[in-house]
């Protein structure tokens, strides 16, 4: 479609109407092509405020209706899987945490579980370490869902919810900072356990958070649920039923919003989730509204889980007893983040030569992992996060592949968008909650 | 173990012969020394400078499993054998390791096997969780492996299918018609390993730029990198650092 300087145009029920104000008629009619004029191609992204990072969508439009949608990804590809093959097994944690940057604890835990399964030490992980993992994962799930709420709200025109969602998420990141030393990219969950114990002040903060959060959730619901614009933009929008979800490999809240209560924490439990009490929220409609409801309910379930995990925390070690695997130092938070504790440095440098040798060997060389391959999947905020790890028996991963839910779920976008309105592409895409860092890896 | 070679490697450095006893005796599937694991100083042995380089590490080889496999694995095998007449021709090997069942499938049969795995009432692997590649350079003639992770939501089971193709003929049928979710994952395997899935509707690069040359996650594709300075010392790029086998 071209706009002419001579004729402004507008759509009516009868078709397109040109208002001619002089000039050459041929120039005006050349602007319209009766055969091909109906369709235009719009290139949305890679930089676009509502594509959750660098996602590019190519949309073929007929008026406001999307006829074809294609997504182009890879703009945030960082080669993490390749890089892992050149670092030792423990160093892997610092890489994988950067994949899906809204759910770093999940990336780390999936990786740690895979390495532990390869090592055959799954049963040796201490109870406290497992409980801390559950605690951290569920806090992370809340923060991830809060970002979803915030960004989706903003994309559909609700700016306040964006500010509120990020505000509460910051509280969780604060807790993470107290525990791990960093807001994001923690490298906290490591093969064999967790990097260090949870300090008491963090427990206090989490308790405060649990007290504050229900009120905030109520606030979000008051803001959005009864809001006619929010309802109009989400109900019956971007519908995907269970058949479609399973065929396209969609898991997580999107699948549950279509009515199937498939949650790996229940169906294929890990980290002792079978011993916790929580529900798997579902919704019958399979639309954006359903996904909103499911995610809000999941925040509540995660809070239940956090509370139970807190009650279960008993003093004890947070690393496996095997000194050939466990990181030699109890780490401590210094001014520049997490590092070896001063006592440990004093010991290896001043007192024990053997400790120094052991530290040096384990840190530079790393432990060996018996050859084999495993697949470990956990329920991340976006769905099944799977790690396929292969070892050749050396000190480095031979191959690690992440089955990233963002990557797989994004395939559903054409199925949701085609035939709908262009505005609903935004709602549908947002409801998938793709994180491009995870998608492109 | 690949036989030691005098041919210059990528860096033009002739590789030394592996000292006797320094080999690790790893099973064929898992190469003990990959080019990725080649460290500084052209070191090809164990990387152990303590004087105990002759130490042989015992590794448990991964072998074909024998019946009974335990758990649901026997049921899965029996159901597949019953529902799929060409079972003996299609399945090369069955491996049970670390509580996971792996069926090694002849590449040209992979789509048929997936079809049966999905549709048979006793199998019902409705969800294809993951498709990815792996490069077993130096350990397997058909070095490019495609790994499919199928999930049965009905029975809550998982099975891994593995198909191996060679670099010279990296072809196998696409499973996109059976599992539409394999679309992007097959594109990724093509992008990263150069595995060609015949019948895929749009087999183009997905993560790398369209005009990229080579397949980055193959083991003979260098990682690259530049040295960096840290506190006055120069640190080599990761692929040039010492590695230990």
Cross-chain residue pair A403–B129, CB shorter than 8 Å: yes
Per the structure, how many domains does chain A have?
2
What pLDDT is stored for residue B165 in this prediction? 93
Burial status of residue A117 (CB atoms within 10 A of its CB: 0-12, 13-18, 19 or more): buried
Reduced to 3 states (helix: H, G, I; strand: E, B; else coil), residue B179 is coil
* Count of A-B CB contacts under 8 Å: 149
What pLDDT is stored for residue B31 in this prediction? 41
Out of A267, A366, A392, closest to residue B32 by CB: A392
Q: Give the structural domain span for A198.
A: 80-325+367-440
What pLDDT is stored for residue A320 in this prediction? 87
- Return the sign of the alpha-carbon dihedral for residues A284, A285, A287, A292: negative
Residues of chain B contacting A117 with CB distance shorter than 8 Å? 98
A59 located within any domain = no
Residues A13 and A111 in one domain: no
Q: Are A271 and A133 in contact (CB under 8 A)?
A: yes
> Which chain B residue shows the shortest CA-CA distance from A415?
B180
pLDDT at A68 over 60: yes
What pLDDT is stored for residue A2 in this prediction? 46
Q: Which residues, in sequence order, are bridge partners of residue A19?
A: A8
Query: What is the CB neighbour count within 10 angstroms for residue A416?
Result: 28
Q: Are A71 and A412 in contact (CB under 8 A)?
A: no
DSSP class of residue A278?
-
Residues A101 and A172 in one domain: yes
Q: How much is the average pLDDT of A389-418? A: 89
Reduced to 3 states (helix: H, G, I; strand: E, B; else coil), residue A94 is helix
Q: Which residues, in sequence order, are bridge partners of residue B164?
A: B145
pLDDT at A153 over 60: yes
To test the contact with chain B by mutation, choose from A113, A380, A408 the residue with the greatest count of B C-beta atoms within 10 A, namely A408
What pLDDT is stored for residue B7 in this prediction? 44
Alpha-carbon distance of A179 to A333, in angstroms, equals: 9
Burial status of residue A67 (CB atoms within 10 A of its CB: 0-12, 13-18, 19 or more): middle
Higher pLDDT, A214 or A44: A214
Residues A305 and A402 in one domain: yes
A20 located within any domain = yes
Structure-token match 């798997």, residue found? A280
Cross-chain residue pair A86–B241, CB shorter than 8 Å: yes
Cross-chain residue pair B134–A396, CB shorter than 8 Å: no
Out of A248, A372, A375, closest to residue B181 by CB: A248
Cross-chain residue pair A395–B31, CB shorter than 8 Å: no
Mean pLDDT of chain B: 77
Cross-chain residue pair A373–B183, CB shorter than 8 Å: no
Cross-chain residue pair B98–A403, CB shorter than 8 Å: no
Reduced to 3 states (helix: H, G, I; strand: E, B; else coil), residue A267 is helix
- Give residue-wise pLDDT tens across range A332-359: 766 666 677 788 888 888 888 888 888 8
Out of B207, B209, B238, closest to residue A86 by CB: B238
How many residues are present in chain B? 245
Q: Are A209 and A125 in contact (CB under 8 A)?
A: no
pLDDT at B20 over 50: no
Out of A120, A375, A408, closest to residue B158 by CB: A375
Cross-chain residue pair A388–B149, CB shorter than 8 Å: yes
Alpha-carbon distance of A416 to A234, in angstroms, equals: 13
User: Token digits for B13?
Assistant: 């450095």
What pLDDT is stored for residue B28 in this prediction? 35
Write the DSSP string, A179-218. Answer: HHS-SS----EETTEESSPPPHHHHHHHHHHHHHHHHHHH
B27 contacts: CB under 8 Å, gap ≥ 6: A371, B59, B61, B62, B63
What pLDDT is stored for residue A176 in this prediction? 92
> What pTM was computed for the model?
0.83
pLDDT at A204 over 90: yes
What pLDDT is stored for residue A380 in this prediction? 93
What pLDDT is stored for residue A276 in this prediction? 92
Write the CA distances from A203 to A187, A313, A412, B10, B72, integer angstroms.
20, 10, 40, 53, 42
Structure-token match 């093509």, residue found? B190
Cross-chain residue pair A118–B98, CB shorter than 8 Å: yes
To test the contact with chain A by mutation, choose from B44, B93, B238, B244 the residue with the greatest count of A C-beta atoms within 10 A, namely B244
Q: What is the CATH number of the domain that holds A271?
A: 1.10.645.10
Q: Which of A409, A414, A388, A380 is nearest to A249 (CA)?
A: A409
Q: What is the ipTM of this complex?
A: 0.81
Higher pLDDT, A74 or B240: A74
Q: Are A279 and A299 in contact (CB under 8 A)?
A: no
Asked if B245 reaches chain A (Cβ–Cβ under 8 Å), the answer is: yes
Q: Tell me the CATH number for domain B73-198.
A: 3.30.460.80
pLDDT at B8 over 80: no
What pLDDT is stored for residue A133 in this prediction? 93
Work out the percent of chain A whose per-residue pLDDT is above 90.
Answer: 39
Reduced to 3 states (helix: H, G, I; strand: E, B; else coil), residue A271 is coil
To test the contact with chain B by mutation, choose from A370, A384, A415 the residue with the greatest count of B C-beta atoms within 10 A, namely A370
Higher pLDDT, B219 or B59: B219
Locate the domains of chain B by residue range. 1-61, 73-198
- Return the sign of the alpha-carbon dihedral for residues A73, A78, A79, A84: negative
A217 located within any domain = yes
Residues of chain A contacting B153 with CB distance shorter than 8 Å? 246, 260, 262, 267
- The interaxial angle of helices A422-432 and A288-312, nearest 10 deg, is 20
Helix (H) or strand (E) holding B190: helix B182-193
Which of A125-129, B5-9, B60-64, B227-231 bottoms out in mean pLDDT, i.e. has the lowest?
A: B5-9
pLDDT bucket at B46, cuts 50 / 70 / 90: low
Cross-chain residue pair A394–B147, CB shorter than 8 Å: no
Residues A284 and A432 in one domain: yes
Torsion of CA A369, A370, A375, A377, to 10 degrees: -40
To test the contact with chain A by mutation, choose from B184, B186, B208, B218 the residue with the greatest count of A C-beta atoms within 10 A, namely B184
Residues of chain A contacting B47 with CB distance shorter than 8 Å? 365
To test the contact with chain A by mutation, choose from B125, B200, B243 the residue with the greatest count of A C-beta atoms within 10 A, namely B243
What pLDDT is stored for residue A210 in this prediction? 92
Write the DSSP string, B192-227. Answer: HH--EEET-TT---SSS-TT--S-TTSTTS------
Which of A182-186, A292-296, B4-8, B135-139 bottoms out in mean pLDDT, i.e. has the lowest?
A: B4-8
Residues A5 and A130 in one domain: no
Asked if B32 reaches chain A (Cβ–Cβ under 8 Å), the answer is: yes
pLDDT at B55 over 80: no
Burial status of residue B3 (CB atoms within 10 A of its CB: 0-12, 13-18, 19 or more): exposed
Work out the percent of chain A whose per-residue pLDDT is above 70.
Answer: 91
- Give residue-wise pLDDT tens across range A239-292: 898 999 999 999 999 999 999 999 999 999 999 999 999 999 999 988 999 999
Alpha-carbon distance of A382 to B161, in angstroms, equals: 25
Out of A83, A247, A262, closest to residue B153 by CB: A262
Cross-chain residue pair B97–A373, CB shorter than 8 Å: yes
User: Token digits for B233?
Assistant: 């010392």
Asked if B137 reaches chain A (Cβ–Cβ under 8 Å), the answer is: no
Out of A73, A392, A410, closest to residue B26 by CB: A392
Asked if B244 reaches chain A (Cβ–Cβ under 8 Å), the answer is: yes
- Give residue-wise pLDDT tens across range B94-123: 888 888 999 999 999 999 999 999 998 888
> Which chain B residue shows the shortest CA-CA distance from A407?
B184
Cross-chain residue pair B134–A82, CB shorter than 8 Å: no
Residues of chain B contacting A440 with CB distance shorter than 8 Å? 207
Cross-chain residue pair A393–B59, CB shorter than 8 Å: yes
Cross-chain residue pair B207–A74, CB shorter than 8 Å: yes
Cross-chain residue pair A370–B60, CB shorter than 8 Å: yes
Helix/strand/coil percent split, chain A, to 5: 50, 15, 35
What pLDDT is stored for residue A329 in this prediction? 63
Farthest CA pair distance, chain A: 94
Asked if B135 reaches chain A (Cβ–Cβ under 8 Å), the answer is: yes
Out of B37, B130, B217, closest to residue A396 by CB: B37
Cross-chain residue pair A386–B129, CB shorter than 8 Å: yes
Asked if B184 reaches chain A (Cβ–Cβ under 8 Å), the answer is: yes
Mean pLDDT of chain A: 86
Higher pLDDT, B82 or B239: B82
Q: Which of A162, A45, A158 is nearest to A439 (CA)?
A: A45
Q: How much is the average pLDDT of A323-331? A: 76
Residues A435 and A316 in one domain: yes
Asked if B87 reaches chain A (Cβ–Cβ under 8 Å), the answer is: no
Q: Which of A139, A159, A146 is nearest to A50 (CA)?
A: A159
A408 located within any domain = yes
Residues of chain A contacting B181 with CB distance shorter than 8 Å? 247-250, 408, 411
């Amino acid at each position: 479609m071209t706009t002419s300087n001579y004729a402004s145009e507008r759509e009516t029920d009868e078709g397109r109407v040109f208002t001619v104000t002089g000039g050459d008629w041929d120039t005006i009619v050349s602007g319209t092509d009766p055969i091909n004029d109906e369709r235009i191609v719009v290139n949305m992204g890679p930089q676009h405020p509502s594509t959750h990072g660098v996602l590019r969508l190519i949309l073929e439009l007929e008026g406001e209706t999307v006829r074809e949608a294609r997504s182009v990804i890879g703009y945030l590809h960082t080669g993490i899987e390749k890089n892992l093959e050149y670092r030792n097994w423990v160093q892997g944690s610092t890489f994988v945490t950067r994949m899906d940057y809204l759910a770093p604890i999940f990336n780390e835990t999936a990786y740690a579980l895979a390495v532990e399964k390869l090592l055959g030490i799954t049963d040796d992980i201490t109870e406290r370490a497992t409980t801390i993992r559950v605690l951290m994962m569920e806090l992370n799930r809340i923060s991830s869902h809060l970002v979803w709420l915030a960004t989706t709200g903003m994309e559909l025109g609700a700016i306040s919810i964006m500010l509120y969602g990020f505000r509460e998420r910051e509280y969780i990141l604060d807790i993470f900072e107290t525990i791990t030393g960093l807001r994001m990219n923690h490298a906290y969950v490591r093969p064999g356990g967790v990097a260090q114990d949870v300090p008491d002040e963090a427990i206090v903060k989490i308790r405060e958070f649990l007290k504050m959060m229900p009120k905030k959730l109520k606030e979000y619901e008051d803001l959005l649920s009864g809001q006619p614009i929010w309802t109009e933009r989400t109900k019956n929008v971007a519908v995907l039923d269970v058949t479609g979800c399973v065929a396209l490999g969609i898991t997580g809240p999107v699948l549950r919003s279509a009515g199937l209560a498939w949650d790996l924490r229940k169906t294929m439990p890990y980290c002792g989730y079978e011993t916790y009490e929580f529900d798997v929220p579902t919704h019958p409609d399979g639309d954006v509204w359903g996904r909103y409801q499911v995610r809000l309910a999941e925040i509540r379930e995660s809070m239940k889980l956090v509370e139970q995990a807190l009650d279960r925390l008993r003093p004890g070690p947070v690393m496996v007893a095997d000194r050939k695997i466990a990181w030699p130092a109890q780490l401590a938070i210094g001014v520049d983040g997490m590092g070896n504790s001063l006592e440990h440095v004093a010991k290896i440098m001043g007192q024990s030569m053997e400790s120094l040798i052991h530290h040096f060997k384990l840190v530079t060389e790393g432990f060996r992992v018996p050859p084999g391959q495993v697949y470990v999947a956990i329920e991340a905020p976006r769905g099944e996060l799977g790690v396929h790890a292969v070892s050749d028996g050396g000190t480095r991963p031979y191959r690690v592949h992440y089955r990233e839910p963002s990557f797989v779920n994004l395939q559903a976008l054409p199925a949701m968008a085609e035939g709908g309105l262009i505005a609903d592409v935004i709602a549908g895409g947002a409801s998938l909650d793709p994180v491009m860092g995870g998608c492109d890896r | 173990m690949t036989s030691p070679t005098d041919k210059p490697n990528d860096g033009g450095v002739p590789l030394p012969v592996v000292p006797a006893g320094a080999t690790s005796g790893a099973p064929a599937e898992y190469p003990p020394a990959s080019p990725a694991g080649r460290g500084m100083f052209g070191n090809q042995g164990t990387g152990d400078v303590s004087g105990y380089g002759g130490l042989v590490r015992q590794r448990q080889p991964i072998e074909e499993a024998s019946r009974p496999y335990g758990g649901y694995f026997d049921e899965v095998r029996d159901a597949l054998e019953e529902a799929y007449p060409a079972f003996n021709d299609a399945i090369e090997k069955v491996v049970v390791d670390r509580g996971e069942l792996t069926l090694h499938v002849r590449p040209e049969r992979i789509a048929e096997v997936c079809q049966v795995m999905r549709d048979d009432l006793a199998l019902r692997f409705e969800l294809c969780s993951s498709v990815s590649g792996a490069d077993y350079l130096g350990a397997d003639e058909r070095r490019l492996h495609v790994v499919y992770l199928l999930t049965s939501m009905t029975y809550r089971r998982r099975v891994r299918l593995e198909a191996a193709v060679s670099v010279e003929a990296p072809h196998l049928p696409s499973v996109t018609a059976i599992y539409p979710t394999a679309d992007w994952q097959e594109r990724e395997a093509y992008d990263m390993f150069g595995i060609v899935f015949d019948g895929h509707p749009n087999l183009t690069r997905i993560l790398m730029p369209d005009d990229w040359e080579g397949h980055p996650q193959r083991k003979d594709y260098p990682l690259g990198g530049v040295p960096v300075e840290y506190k006055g010392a120069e640190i080599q790029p990761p692929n040039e650092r010492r590695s230990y086998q």
